[in-house]
Structure 1
Amino acid sequence: MYSTDREVLQTAIDWLELNHQVALVTVAKTWGSSPRPAGSMMLMRDDGIHTGSVSGGCIEEDLVKRYVNGELTEHYPNLIDYGVDRQDALRFGLPCGGRLELVVEQLESAEPLKTLLSRITSGQLVARRVCMNTGEVSLHNVSEVNDFRYTSDDMIKVFGRAGQLTRYVASIALMLDYNVTVCDPREEYRAGWNMEGVNFTHMMPDDAVKQILNHNRTILITLAHDPKLDDMALMEALTDDLFYVGALGSKRSNDQRRERLLQLGVNQEQLQKLHAPVGLAIGSHTPPEIAVSIMAEITAARNSIAATGAQKTNV
């Protein structure tokens, strides 16, 4: 779940506690190109104020107008289609072939939303189910992310050299709603680290990897350029089921790294999980450009898109 969606849920709680009538709109399904993915949310209240988004803006305006006019205030959820024909799509600014199916719920109480947010914050994966016939809402624990179930942030662990490149990677990761931890046991680097919103640990890399709980939602990147530190983290990470493991370096240093890891007991199958040199081939040279290439590759992996490139970032 993105932080903007959590903000929508928290705002719904605040508005309900102020005794406003509040409706929650959720993108249930999309066809073709759509401005927002399934699971995107917006809120509307009785005085026309709204927050969040389900499109580029035109649909939100239409929904708010209909809600304020009393068209969408039924007790049971409404299922609404936008973009069912070309004229409709043009009217609401949908891309060619784009279509949205929205669920509009009249919220009655803040308590179920508080429970949902509490479970998300504690790190649980939660599915929220809405009965379209009765309006009944139920929450269910799930074992993996599927459709638009609610989840706490994916995690990025950056190992080594709490310096300039790490700051750029961490900054972009925060904007993409990751929970970021930087690990560097070296006193000369950790003493100067001060970045709001980023966790810092001075544990040894292998010990820090052992502390990871949600393996299949964790991304690990080594940036130290120091085999003594990078290899410790990679040895542990590659033997676990982490979502993504990447290492900074040139093609030559990557070949040497792979040889070292094989000698240290990492097998070929485990080594196949290593993304190295990390980052997409965009000709990056400066720390900001390298950070963009790294996070672009991670974003592609997160969205289940195969990122291709003839040559990875060389550093």
Structure 2
Amino acid sequence: MDSVNLEVLRQAVAWNEAGIPVTLATVVRTWGSSPRPEGALLTIAGDGRLVGSVSGGCIEDDLLDRLRSERPTAPEHVTYGITAEQTRRFGLPCGGKLELVLEPIGPANRLAETLAAIERGEMVARSLDLITGAVDLLGDVPDAAVVFDGKTLVSAFGPRWRMLIIGAGQLSRYLAEFALALDYQVTISEPREEYRDSWTVPGATITTEMPDDAVIALRPDRRTVIIGATHDPKLDDLALIDALKTNAFYIGAIGSRANSERRRERLKLFDLTDADVDRLHGPVGLPLGARTPPEIALAILADITARRNGVALTAAVERIPSSAEACPTLA
């Protein structure tokens, strides 16, 4: 889960434990261009303080007015953007529609248990029965942020997405900066002292462990991304051999098509099946014609983001003239 939702849960638990009335709002469905994704959270205290967001601000204002007049005593299903007038009033994009579940946080909400599981690095699913208000914690965690059928809301929670980058070169700097901006927890494996000494990206953890040891220590899960970024088989391949045996969400390595094919053949010598090796993204990233380190980092994060969001990238990429090629010259 992202750091905003994590802060929402922390604040909701703190207010609840302090005896302050709390309402938790969850985005459960969106249509059109919605300002916040499904699963986004907002918590509102009885005194009007709020943390998180479900829109650009107008819906938050309406929720505050609604809660000032009457706080819910049971879960409620609320829809915004039913009419064109509502869409304009609440600042939703054209065609936008937003459904929320408002939940009064009571003594049996199990939010503290949910938060404790997240802090331990565990995945957890919290199920809310809108009819009875009963809350359960489930062992079977859905891939989607929320699953809502009108009667039951199941929200998937877990630790932040993590990215392990092999090498602390120039490309890794941009990868780390972009990933941090996208709320990843970033770790750099760099056993080479000369590269570590020049690392200047705050917010990323740099380790001296060899890449294979860094992968093992990370214990990759389906919210983990691992990128080999050194161009050195002695480092990248070390990480990939262990990474491809895990259930990491995305595993990739930089390199040309020819080098990527040679890498695949090398990996098959290390007790990896064809299915294991087929999980490797290489050359890594979307085919954007990237050449500079920031362009390559952008292509890599764009591919990962699309796959996280379930966007199918199956269309053929057509070569079009660059802006320079398209400009006519004067005779």
TM-score range, shorter chain: 0.7 to 0.9
AA at the equivalent of 1:163: G
Pick the aligned partner of 1:84 from 72, 82, 85. Answer: 82
Corresponding residue number in structure 1 for 2:325:
none
Kindly state the Cα deviation for residue 234 of structure 1 after the two structures are TM-superposed: 1.9
Corresponding residue number in structure 2 for 1:140:
138
Contact (CA 8 Å) 1:125, 1:145: kept in 2 or not? Answer: no
Kindly state the Cα deviation for residue 48 of structure 1 after the two structures are TM-superposed: 2.8
Inter-partner Cα distance in structure 2 for 1:311 and 1:253:
23
Inter-partner Cα distance in structure 2 for 1:208 and 1:275:
20
What's the CA shift string for 1:85-113, capped at 9, x where partnerless? 33322322223333222111222359833
Contact (CA 8 Å) 1:220, 1:245: kept in 2 or not? Answer: yes
Corresponding residue number in structure 2 for 1:53:
53
Inter-partner Cα distance in structure 1 for 2:9 and 2:3:
10
Asked if residue 156 in structure 1 is aligned to residue 163 in structure 2, the reply is yes
Contact (CA 8 Å) 1:21, 1:46: kept in 2 or not? Answer: yes
Asked if residue 204 in structure 1 is aligned to residue 210 in structure 2, the reply is yes
Pick the aligned partner of 2:176 from 164, 170, 177. Answer: 170
- The alignment partner of 1:87 has SS state of helix
1:269 to 1:142, Cα distance in 2 relative to 1, 3 A? closer
Asked if residue 181 in structure 1 is aligned to residue 179 in structure 2, the reply is no
Contact (CA 8 Å) 1:27, 1:54: kept in 2 or not? Answer: yes
Inter-partner Cα distance in structure 1 for 2:220 and 2:189:
17
Kindly state the Cα deviation for residue 174 of structure 1 after the two structures are TM-superposed: 1.9
- The alignment partner of 2:94 has SS state of coil
Contact (CA 8 Å) 1:25, 1:102: kept in 2 or not? Answer: yes
Kindly state the Cα deviation for residue 311 of structure 1 after the two structures are TM-superposed: 8.7
Inter-partner Cα distance in structure 2 for 1:179 and 1:142:
24
Kindly state the Cα deviation for residue 122 of structure 1 after the two structures are TM-superposed: 0.7
Instruction: Return the TM-score normalized by structure 1.
Output: 0.87
Unpaired runs of 5+ residues, structure 2, are 147-155, 320-331
Corresponding residue number in structure 1 for 2:38:
38
What's the CA shift string for 1:202-234, capped at 9, x where partnerless? 222223333342433321100111121112222
Contact (CA 8 Å) 2:190, 2:196: kept in 1 or not? Answer: yes
Pick the aligned partner of 1:304 from 306, 310, 315. Answer: 310
CA RMSD of aligned residues (A): 2.6
Inter-partner Cα distance in structure 1 for 2:318 and 2:95:
35
- The alignment partner of 2:110 has SS state of helix
Contact (CA 8 Å) 1:31, 1:100: kept in 2 or not? Answer: yes
Inter-partner Cα distance in structure 2 for 1:102 and 1:253:
49
Equivalenced residues, count:
309
Pick the aligned partner of 1:104 from 102, 116, 129. Answer: 102
Instruction: Return the TM-score normalized by structure 2.
Output: 0.83
- The alignment partner of 2:104 has SS state of strand
1:193 to 1:110, Cα distance in 2 relative to 1, 3 A? farther
Corresponding residue number in structure 1 for 2:246:
240
Contact (CA 8 Å) 2:22, 2:45: kept in 1 or not? Answer: yes
Asked if residue 218 in structure 1 is aligned to residue 228 in structure 2, the reply is no
Counting aligned pairs with the same residue, the percent is 45
Inter-partner Cα distance in structure 1 for 2:41 and 2:220:
26
Corresponding residue number in structure 2 for 1:287:
293
Inter-partner Cα distance in structure 1 for 2:194 and 2:226:
22
- The alignment partner of 1:216 has SS state of coil
Asked if residue 254 in structure 1 is aligned to residue 252 in structure 2, the reply is no
Kindly state the Cα deviation for residue 247 of structure 1 after the two structures are TM-superposed: 0.7
Unpaired runs of 5+ residues, structure 1, are none
Pick the aligned partner of 1:128 from 116, 126, 135. Answer: 126
